[in-house]
């Protein structure tokens, strides 16, 4: 009897130990910072079900939709994958002026799917502050507040965050990173938005593209700096930090600008970043080698959890652009060549996102 008791106590203890160990391994393997953008400006995309299955075979743990396609939200149910949904710029005036519009939107696009579909963020509008539309700019914060209230009224206000996506061109100046500041004429509206981010714990979401930086300065040294390849770095004399890649420099520039406004604790999320694998003959930068170097280098950098020089020790949530090519996007060929996966669900190029090939 006593023997049995002690052995069951022992196995209980080893169970607890095993559980703790598995938990630890799980935390070590968690890559919740890797997300992807799922754009749908296309007429040839794989089905939502096939896409959900594809995502589950990768270490991508979050997906950002530009809208709120119910078929996709539903296909992602019970996968655990975090889902970011979007509200369009065109709806901002209605959200701002009519709390019931916001309530109906939440009741139609969130409530039927949550929590089976793990909706984590609602992005209200895209790059509104640089739209030049003053009406839209002043209505952005009231729109976000009405959506937050609508979430609060169905008890989801602390589970789903309300954010908006900003262009890097919000910065008047970005180099060196410590000197970065927002355009003075945007500081007032940003103060309101940052108060909201700070009060609700929602992220400040940005679209840094080292690719565009390279297009504006196409020296070999700049390319290496953008692609996480060996380079001599860029020195910030104020902080005495030698930046070794453009991604860190851009994210720390945003951090410095936030800090200068008193909001250094607001979380930064990279809503979009990427590199095209193909372009027209007159485009500088697109190639499979460059896209693989950038996205692969970025994944490695995020997985290292080194963080950025000003925000060490953790990786910012980063949504790669993009899951698939979007064949209906206008502009140069590169605009339709950001896809990480082909339409037959094979990889465009391998950056170690597949669970089966991933080395841990």
Produce one character per residue of 105-123: b if its CB has 16 or more CB atoms within 10 Å, e if not.
bbeebbeebbeebbbbbbb
> How remote is the C-alpha of 267 from its chain's centroid?
12
The least distance separating ligand NAG from the CB of residue 130, rounded to whole angstroms, comes to 24
Q: Which is nearer to ligand NAG, 59 or 200 (CB)?
A: 200
The least distance separating ligand NAG from the CB of residue 262, rounded to whole angstroms, comes to 4
Select from 66, 114, 182, 263 the one that contacts ligand NAG (CB under 6 A): 263
**Is the distance from CB of 159 to CB of 121 less than 8 angstroms?**
no
Count, residues near ligand NAG per rule CB under 6 A: 4
The least distance separating ligand NAG from the CB of residue 256, rounded to whole angstroms, comes to 15
DSSP state for residue 262 in the 8-state scheme = T
**Is the distance from CB of 305 to CB of 19 less than 8 angstroms?**
no
Q: Which is nearer to ligand NAG, 72 or 258 (CB)?
A: 258
The least distance separating ligand NAG from the CB of residue 324, rounded to whole angstroms, comes to 39
Q: Is 300 in the site for ligand NAG (CB under 6 A)?
A: no
For 83, list phi and psi in degrees, rounded to 5. Answer: -120, 125
**Is the distance from CB of 151 to CB of 85 less than 8 angstroms?**
no
**Is the distance from CB of 290 to CB of 301 less than 8 angstroms?**
no
Contacts of range 96-103, beta carbons closer than 8 Å, 24 or more positions apart: 96/139, 96/140, 96/142, 96/143, 96/146, 97/139, 97/142, 98/146, 99/146, 99/149, 99/150, 101/146, 102/143, 102/146, 102/147, 102/149, 102/150, 103/150, 103/153
Q: Is 113 in the site for ligand NAG (CB under 6 A)?
A: no
With tokens 């070999």, the residue in question is: 220
Q: Which is nearer to ligand NAG, 182 or 263 (CB)?
A: 263
Q: Which is nearer to ligand NAG, 243 or 263 (CB)?
A: 263
**335 is written with which tokens?**
């605009």
> How remote is the C-alpha of 61 from its chain's centroid?
11
With tokens 């996506």, the residue in question is: 165
Select from 108, 112, 115, 262 the one that contacts ligand NAG (CB under 6 A): 262
Q: Which is nearer to ligand NAG, 191 or 303 (CB)?
A: 191
Q: Is 198 in the site for ligand NAG (CB under 6 A)?
A: yes
Q: Which is nearer to ligand NAG, 179 or 198 (CB)?
A: 198
The least distance separating ligand NAG from the CB of residue 257, rounded to whole angstroms, comes to 14
Q: Is 196 in the site for ligand NAG (CB under 6 A)?
A: no
The least distance separating ligand NAG from the CB of residue 198, rounded to whole angstroms, comes to 4
**Is the distance from CB of 140 to CB of 164 less than 8 angstroms?**
yes
- The catalytic residues are 127, 272
Q: Which residue is nearest to ligand NAG (CB)?
A: 198
Q: Which residue ranges make up the site for ligand NAG (CB under 6 A)?
A: 195, 198, 262-263
């Amino acid at each position: 009897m006593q023997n049995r008791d002690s052995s069951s106590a022992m196995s209980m203890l080893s169970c607890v130990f095993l559980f703790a160990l598995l938990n630890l391994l799980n935390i070590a393997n968690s890559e919740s910072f890797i997300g992807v953008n799922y754009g749908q400006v296309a007429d040839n995309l794989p089905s939502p079900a096939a896409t959900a299955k594809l995502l589950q075979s990768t270490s991508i743990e979050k997906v950002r939709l530009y809208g709120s396609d119910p078929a996709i939200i539903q296909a992602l149910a019970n996968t655990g994958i975090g889902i970011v949904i979007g509200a369009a710029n065109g709806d901002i005036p209605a959200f701002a002026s009519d709390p019931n519009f916001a309530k109906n939107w939440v009741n139609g696009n969130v409530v039927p799917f949550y929590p089976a579909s793990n909706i984590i963020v609602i992005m209200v509008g895209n790059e509104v502050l640089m739209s030049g539309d003053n009406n839209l700019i002043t209505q952005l914060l009231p729109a976000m507040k009405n959506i937050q209230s609508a979430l609060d009224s169905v008890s989801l206000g602390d589970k789903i965050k309300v954010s908006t996506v900003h262009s890097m061109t919000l910065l008047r100046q970005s180099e060196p990173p410590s000197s970065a500041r927002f355009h003075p004429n945007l500081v007032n509206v940003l103060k309101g938005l940052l108060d909201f981010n700070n009060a609700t714990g929602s992220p400040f979401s940005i679209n840094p593209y080292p690719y565009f930086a390279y297009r504006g300065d196409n020296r070999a040294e700049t390319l290496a700096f953008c692609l996480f390849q060996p380079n001599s770095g860029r020195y910030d004399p104020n902080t005495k930090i030698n930046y070794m890649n453009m991604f860190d420099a851009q994210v720390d520039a945003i951090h410095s600008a936030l800090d200068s406004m008193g909001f250094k604790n607001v979380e930064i999320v990279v809503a979009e970043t990427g590199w095209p694998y193909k372009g027209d003959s007159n485009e500088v930068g697109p190639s499979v080698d460059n896209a693989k170097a950038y996205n692969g280098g970025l994944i490695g950098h995020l997985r290292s959890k080194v963080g950025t020089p000003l925000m060490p020790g953790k990786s910012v949530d980063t949504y790669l652009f993009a899951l698939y090519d979007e064949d209906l996007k206008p502009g140069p060929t590169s605009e339709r060549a950001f896809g990480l996966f082909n339409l037959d669900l094979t990889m465009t190029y391998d950056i170690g996102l597949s669970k089966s090939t991933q080395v841990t």
